[in-house]
Amino acid sequence: MSLSKVEDNMYRDYRSPLSTRYASKEMRYNFSDQNKFSTWRKLWIYLAKAEMELGLAIKPEQIAEMEAHVDDIDFEAAAEEEKATRHDVMAHVHVFGEQCPQAAPIIHLGATSCYVGDNTDLLILRQGFDILLPKLAGVLRHLAKFAFERRNLPTLGFTHLQPAQLTTVGKRATLWLQDLVMDERAISRARNDLRFRGVKGTTGTQASFLQLFNGDGEKVKQLDALVTKMAGFEKYYGVTGQTYSRKVDIECLNALSSLGATVHKICTDLRLLANMKEIEEPFESTQIGSSAMPYKRNPMRSERCCSVARHLMTLSNNTLQTAATQWMERTLDDSANRRLTLAEAFLSADTILMTLQNIMEGLVVYPKVIAKHVAQELPFMSAENIIMATVKAGGDRQVCHEKIRVLAQEAGVQVKQHGLDNDLVDRIKKDPYFGPILSKLDVLLDPSTFVGRAPEQVVEFLEEEVYPVLEKYKNLESKTVELNI
């Protein structure tokens, strides 16, 4: 088939945007057929090596023959074989055996399909976490830098999406950081809790292997341990049915779905701040915000994160349903669902982390807009400070409170009904009652005096919570992320 025809067929078939548009090359490879089926072959080699070491009649030449054909998989032949047998593992056993005629009699010896299926899944899950964690660290690193640099910049805090007591831009970023640190802990735990299914047989009893070793249970245990070690795991699950418990998938996807919730919250905040023109994500000089409105600067990266994160958050429910419906030692209704769910969860997590890092690398802050918004609200928030200063100068608290209440109501009418600036301070300056404190008004209205310990909290949090996490990834460089936008 010519290249043009291949390309024509490619564009006529459905392809997931996760694999063609969003996720990274390394994550796409991790869930590729090439990686999956070459891992099957490695697992068959590990099994044969361990069986040979424990005394079965397997020759080094057979091992060498299999090792020579780990990666050269004839996918078309396997597809034809599976069409006839309706069994993917046996199709690949057959094709591998044709490539390795000496080894054919001992490929998959004593094993069931889940030996390669489940063990491969566990290897892929672990590698998926290993791809994600440095990317999460990259986001943490850039956001930590942002938080530190903006730790002193006062900004309106919001509760109920209504202006509240001031915070700082950097302090708000630590709220995002805190959730991401929790995600790093949860993902690391899910990764490190993974074990190998090992060599368990058709219903988990190891009966076939016990028969191979003439009833020698100790050798069967050694076989389990040897194959586990060859696969790079320290531990195997002590008991399984035909499959490893599908609660393992729940633990993995709960961590990823939780990351999705974090990223959605961060990017929603950024979208709201972009609407207020206080903070924007990167926007290239040639980037187009709208096909109809040339002036638009849409927060498309943040919107992408929210969009994919919503998909990611829903996927954990699939793992719950699957684990709940595994009858006895296993049923096969998990298979098709897991093919979709596991891959899409990791590809989605990969997508939002890369996009979020790209955002954090180029966040733009507009201090003058922030200061303008603060100035609009600060006079209302300064009432308590003005009351206290007036009392110290000899005034009556109740009288002062009532005067400010009336002036604030009048200023509120100017802001809400007439669209004018907040003139409460001017009204206070014109009222003779406040004459004794007029010289102190600038100090009383200094935004930096309204942020409490926010700047110190930023530094303390970074030093105590964030930098120790980043230390684990110090040898893994955070590369600049370029997106297909």
Q: Which residues pair with 157 in a beta bridge?
A: 164
Helix axes 113-149, 247-275, angle to 10 degrees: 30
Q: Write out the two tokens for 136.
A: 């999460």
Residue showing tokens 């349903």: 321
Count of Cβ atoms closer than 10 Å to residue 71 Cβ: 11
Q: Pairing relation of β-strands 364-365 and 279-280?
A: antiparallel
Instruction: Tell me whether residue 160 is one of the annotated catalytic residues.
Output: yes
- Closest by CA position to 411, among listed 441, 378, 444, 438: 378
The helix-helix angle for 33-53 and 75-85 (nearest 10°) equals 80
Which residues, in sequence order, are bridge partners of residue 162?
Answer: 159
d(CA 361, CA 480): 8
d(Cα 394, Cα 4) in Å, to the nearest integer? 89
**Rounded-to-10 torsion of CA 337, 339, 340, 341:** 70
Sign of torsion, CA 209 212 215 216? negative
Q: Which of 4, 160, 291, 418 is catalytic?
A: 160
87 assigned to active site: no
Residues in the chain: 485
> What is the Cα–Cα distance from 456 to 170, expressed in whole angstroms?
10
H, E, C per residue of 59-112: CHHHHHHHHCCCCCCCHHHHHHHHHHHCCHHHHHHHHHHHHCCCCHHHCCCCCC
CA 185 to chain centre: 12
* Cα 25 from Cα 20, distance rounded (Å): 10
**Residues carrying an active site annotation:** 160, 290
